[in-house]
Chain A
């Protein structure tokens, strides 16, 4: 009976959550969003997630009790949720609750009764709940790896389905298939015959070259264009261009990479392999007449994603084993080569991705820079800064003030008093973006020092609140009407120009303006590389080690002779500088600096990136930025629920992983300290 009690517990908890969400109208608003054409709506997916979740949690708890019990628990779990929803439906029918819950104006019964009459609808709901619960139990009883693959596969398919419209124009199927095939063959060949990185690379190169030749031949014989014409895929520049040399280069590089990663570090191997799978999925998504994923597409995507989730980690383990056996210099060579190719892909990407995706990636990139910066403050020096957005704002406003006609650049005359024609003679202070960028970084760092000095001696939670206060003060001050001449109050500073690369001294026509989403993209990319490199360098330096000591134990660090105030201040200033850098970029991206973009929520967002993706590692920050910033941006209809999910995520992350804030190296340090302490204690007591 314990099994039933446990199952009921989980079931009822999830039933409560689902009912509350139902009352927010999640099912009705998501009912219009289709994930798979004519078959699956987002609403159904959400319902499925909760039913499976309830069944799964109940089943997992009952697992030790045996198969039958697990199945029973799963069914009970699912039924709890179903029953709760059924009660809700009956209640909704009986009483008008739309005064309290305005979202019920669109009654849930329209969706959850599946278009049937109440009795049959509820019956179907209950059967469905039990069924999903049983399915979840079945899933729980599968081996762990299979479970993971299936769940990941389903998740990825759902996300792809939601993003279908945005990603369909990235790459045509034939291109993707050709590249993926080359990748796969090169990988397989290098796996089988490759002994050393050099040989692996050569094997890959040969496979790639062969592929290029074959593709070229196919194109000459009109096989491929036929394929292309038949699908009439709409795409940004197609990879299968006409010229052979170009084909050789593209396919050759693909081959080399596929070969090398069979002996690369696990992270690199997995990332590259996942990229290849993603490419293929993008190809599948490339459909002609529809913005919604089809049955076939969904199935293929699911199989690919699940297979990838299953196979890639296996390959990663083997590749890592090979990698560890290499010499240091070989390791570095392999990693650097793959990185170089990765960089090439990043640089070549914008035309393929299109304006919308590029813009989303720009925002993600800016948050990555912010994350790297805040990581120096929180992750390295252990200071919880809740007012980080202040430096972000400082960067944007500084850049804005220096690149547009303003009080600063027009010799003390407010901008609105100057006619357009007078601008060039009165506003002599206007700088180029690059100059302003540097000034913005410096100003932000100085602000960091100024703000840091009074507050650094406060204890952790007070420090957090003070920084929060600072952030809010800055936001309110730039918004203040009396400062309109300087900061533009609620309208902010407008018309920040795009950066211009002016090399006309070398050649008269070498003047490039970084316009459009792709212009910002390259700027952001450069910023990320700079920030990441500096951050990695800092971590390795003497300063970085003193930060580690500070984090592990402040008193011990002080006893070791480390000047606490100085290193904390340095961390704070460096973090501020990164934020200033990001701020200037944001300013030019949005063509302006607007006070309402710099709220407390931004600081919390950046903090969450680091916590959830991060633990202080840069790949983690990248992942965090994609999940917490990229996904919500790309999935606009989820925007309503974004903050809700966000708050829930923060709470659950802390409950599940409370020491997520401590990077692994710090934990080891405190264990060393503990052991030393034990030894000393023993020595004293003898």
Chain B
């Protein structure tokens, strides 16, 4: 179905003339509705801003939180986009891969806490936790690929989707039955760093003695004034953002510069020709799953560190939102997934207050974005990067 899957070439230079836009709008009533909607939203937002219902410090706070949340979405979205790019299937159970990392991370961090390591060697303990989250997610993802997806490589497209849905339910329930119904809670973590950087925050004077431990990267909450705005800043949001960006950069490097990354791109474009190059296609597919799962697992632990609560169901909604993000950015497109995740995180965080809607509607906003992007621009904002055909 060549006309249905549009390759990156078609989207590389969108025509941006006003006349062209106008012409196409009139021809397509749906587009008209979309533009009206967009204008309406802008008007509401502006009026609230000018009317003082929505303040700059609210915006700053929500922006920071949105970026942190968005980077988690981006980490998960990368898994979706990698798998879709190479197999043309939606790994519906990827949200549970994310959850597995967070959940197993809980057991590890609790054990480390009980052994006292969390306090004495915080950084090491955290690294071990993230690592075990990664391992757990990878195991789940590889099991999924081998058991549920590989036998269905050549089945009609909808069959693996249904399998994935079944696997998603299975994993959720398995964790629920095995590990219990009560929500688990990550312990409070304190990681002190940069003692010289923020002396007014990181130092405390006790009995006349000034001790500078630095700011608490994980558990800290600081009230600061930036650019005249009163903000409550949580360093962990910044930490999550930068760590996530680092992981994504590593992925980008692997895909663009290494031999295996080349193989991944080749397999993603044309499987059988890649096989003719001597590439073990099955192995490359497994590696793709592993990379996506590693990012999701790390994301899971990071998510749990600032959210602190884990349950078997924490994967479902972030999973769908991450998929939305992947599609927003253009599925198959790695920078697109990153962009989509951050975009969705920020919009989801900022929009309810900006538009005067209830916080209850956060999820509605995300789902609506999913629906809207799939209807109006299914190739995503940055364009799809897909194989020409499935086999």
Q: Do the beta carbons of A644 and B161 come within 8 Å of each other?
A: no
> Would you give the 0/1 interface string for B158-170, flagging 1 where the beta carbon is closer than 8 Å to chain A?
1111110111111
Q: State A459–B389 Cα separation when bound (angstroms).
A: 13
Segment with Cβ contacts to B, from A306-314, A428-436, A466-474: A466-474
Number of A interface residues in the complex (CB < 8 A): 53
Residues of B within 8 A of A611 (CB): 162
The residue in chain A whose Cβ has the minimal distance to the Cβ of B368 is A473
Residues of A within 8 A of B5 (CB): 459
The residue in chain B whose Cβ has the minimal distance to the Cβ of A477 is B364
6 pairs of residues in contact across A and B, judged by CB atoms under 8 Å: A455-B374, A461-B158, A466-B374, A472-B363, A658-B152, A662-B156
Q: State A650–B364 Cα separation when bound (angstroms).
A: 28
Q: State A650–B173 Cα separation when bound (angstroms).
A: 13
The main secondary structure of chain A at its interface with chain B is helix
With most chain A CB atoms within 10 A of its CB, the pick from B166, B174, B370, B375 is: B166
Q: State A641–B170 Cα separation when bound (angstroms).
A: 10
- Chain B nearest Cβ from A194, distance in angstroms: 46
Residues of A within 8 A of B247 (CB): none
Q: State A640–B174 Cα separation when bound (angstroms).
A: 11
Q: State A650–B171 Cα separation when bound (angstroms).
A: 12
Task: Name A residues whose Cβ lies closer than 8 Å to a Cβ of B.
Answer: 20, 23-25, 99-103, 384, 386, 454-455, 458-462, 464-466, 468-470, 472-473, 476-477, 480-482, 554-555, 604, 607, 611, 640-641, 643-644, 646-651, 653-655, 658-659, 661-662
- Chain B nearest Cβ from A359, distance in angstroms: 26
Q: Do the beta carbons of B157 and A655 come within 8 Å of each other?
A: no
- Chain A nearest Cβ from B390, distance in angstroms: 11
Known: A459-B5, A650-B163, A659-B155. A101 touches B173 (CB 8 A): no
The residue in chain B whose Cβ has the minimal distance to the Cβ of A655 is B151
Q: In the complex, given contacts A24-B174, A455-B374, A644-B174, what are 7 additional A-B residue pairs having Cβ atoms less than 8 angstroms apart?
A: A455-B375, A472-B363, A604-B165, A643-B173, A653-B166, A654-B152, A661-B158
Known: A472-B367, A641-B177, A654-B163. A459 touches B374 (CB 8 A): no
Q: Do the beta carbons of A643 and B155 come within 8 Å of each other?
A: no
The main secondary structure of chain B at its interface with chain A is helix
Q: State A659–B378 Cα separation when bound (angstroms).
A: 28
Task: Kindly state whether residue B244 has any CB partner on chain A within 8 Å.
Answer: no
> Would you give the 0/1 interface string for B247-275, flagging 1 where the beta carbon is closer than 8 Å to chain A?
00000000000000000000000000000
Q: State A668–B256 Cα separation when bound (angstroms).
A: 46
Segment with Cβ contacts to A, from B120-128, B134-142, B178-186, B278-286: B178-186
Residues of A within 8 A of B179 (CB): 100-102
Known: A481-B358, A648-B166. A23 touches B367 (CB 8 A): no
Q: Do the beta carbons of A647 and B157 come within 8 Å of each other?
A: no
The residue in chain B whose Cβ has the minimal distance to the Cβ of A648 is B170
B369-387 residues at the A interface, CB under 8 angstroms: 370-371, 374-375, 378
Known: A461-B90, A464-B161. A473 touches B371 (CB 8 A): yes
Q: Do the beta carbons of B30 and A454 come within 8 Å of each other?
A: yes
Q: State A340–B367 Cα separation when bound (angstroms).
A: 48
Q: Do the beta carbons of A655 and B161 come within 8 Å of each other?
A: no
Task: Name B residues whose Cβ lies closer than 8 Å to a Cβ of A.
Answer: 1, 4-5, 30, 89-90, 107, 110, 148, 151-152, 155-163, 165-174, 177-180, 182, 320, 323, 327, 358, 360-361, 363-364, 367-368, 370-371, 374-375, 378
Residues of B within 8 A of A24 (CB): 174, 177-178
Q: State A469–B319 Cα separation when bound (angstroms).
A: 13
Known: A101-B179, A472-B363. A647 touches B323 (CB 8 A): no
Q: State A100–B136 Cα separation when bound (angstroms).
A: 15
Which A-B residue pairs are the 4 nearest by beta carbons? A650-B166, A647-B170, A647-B169, A102-B180
The residue in chain A whose Cβ has the minimal distance to the Cβ of B152 is A658
With most chain B CB atoms within 10 A of its CB, the pick from A611, A644, A646 is: A644
The residue in chain A whose Cβ has the minimal distance to the Cβ of B144 is A651
Q: Do the beta carbons of B374 and A465 come within 8 Å of each other?
A: yes
Residues of A within 8 A of B110 (CB): 99
Q: State A640–B4 Cα separation when bound (angstroms).
A: 43
Q: Do the beta carbons of B166 and A647 come within 8 Å of each other?
A: yes
With most chain B CB atoms within 10 A of its CB, the pick from A470, A555, A654, A658 is: A654
Q: State A461–B160 Cα separation when bound (angstroms).
A: 10
Residues of A within 8 A of B169 (CB): 604, 643, 646-647, 650
